[in-house]
Amino acid sequence: MEKQIVGKAFVLGDNVDTDQIIPAEHLVYDMSDEKEARLYGKYALSSVPLEVSGLPQGGVPFVAQGEYASEFPIIVAGGNFGCGSSREHAPYALMKAGVKAVVAESYARIFYRNAVDGGFVAPIEAKEKINDGVKTGDELLVDLEKNVVENKTSGARWELRPLGDALPIIEAGGVFEYARASGMI
């Protein structure tokens, strides 16, 4: 995993649940079959209503029609991101869509654990609410060494909470890969 993540932001509000991240009807694809697994990326955030997707302006689909990956490697959200059912498919779908980091005010505990345990995406907490200071399409720099996110489009900058012990797990590709590399198993 990169220590600096650069790319376009996709902005969401509060309480984005796992059914919005990956709708239940798309949980049928085989994660070990690459042709089927890419469908998780295609349908990631497909149930977020277009009038609220990509806040504040709305109307921006996360994955363009006919594509399997998004042009937005960074999601910026409000509080309680990933609430709802405990499906590990949610952070997996974001990873398959090309997301490298989610920067949110807070996370549902189960989403955070699934993101870290699977090594799918970096669930980064901002020290304050920032989704109202970023627009979909803004170019961001997420610096995991300095624990800051910079909006290259507007010049704004916010502090992030360090990933701490979760970072080496994400870098290893998940908890089992981390345990193998560390000699635990």
Q: What is the pLDDT of residues 159-183, one digit of tens each?
A: 999 999 999 999 999 999 999 999 9
State the residue range of the domain holding 61: 4-181
pLDDT band at 86 (very low <50, low <70, confident <90, very high): confident
Alpha-carbon distances of 153 from 6, 99, 134, rounded to whole Å: 12, 19, 9
Q: Which two tokens stand for residue 145?
A: 């060494």
Packing angle between helix 89-96 and helix 109-118, nearest 10 degrees?
Answer: 60
Q: Mean pLDDT, the chain, as a whole number?
A: 92
Cis-peptide, bond into residue 91, ω within 30° of zero: no
Q: Which CATH number fits the domain that encloses residue 86? A: 3.20.19.10
What's the pTM?
0.93
pLDDT band at 185 (very low <50, low <70, confident <90, very high): confident
Say how many domains are in the chain: 1
Q: Which of 131, 133, 124, 132 is nearest to 154 (CA)?
A: 133
Residue 2: how many other CB atoms lie within 10 Å: 12
Q: What is the pLDDT of residues 48-67, one digit of tens each?
A: 776 665 555 567 889 999 99
pLDDT band at 95 (very low <50, low <70, confident <90, very high): very high
Q: Is the pLDDT of residue 25 over 80?
A: yes
In percent, the amount of the chain with pLDDT more than 90 equals 83
Q: Which of 38, 48, 28 is nearest to 96 (CA)?
A: 38
User: At residue 63, what is the residue type?
Assistant: V
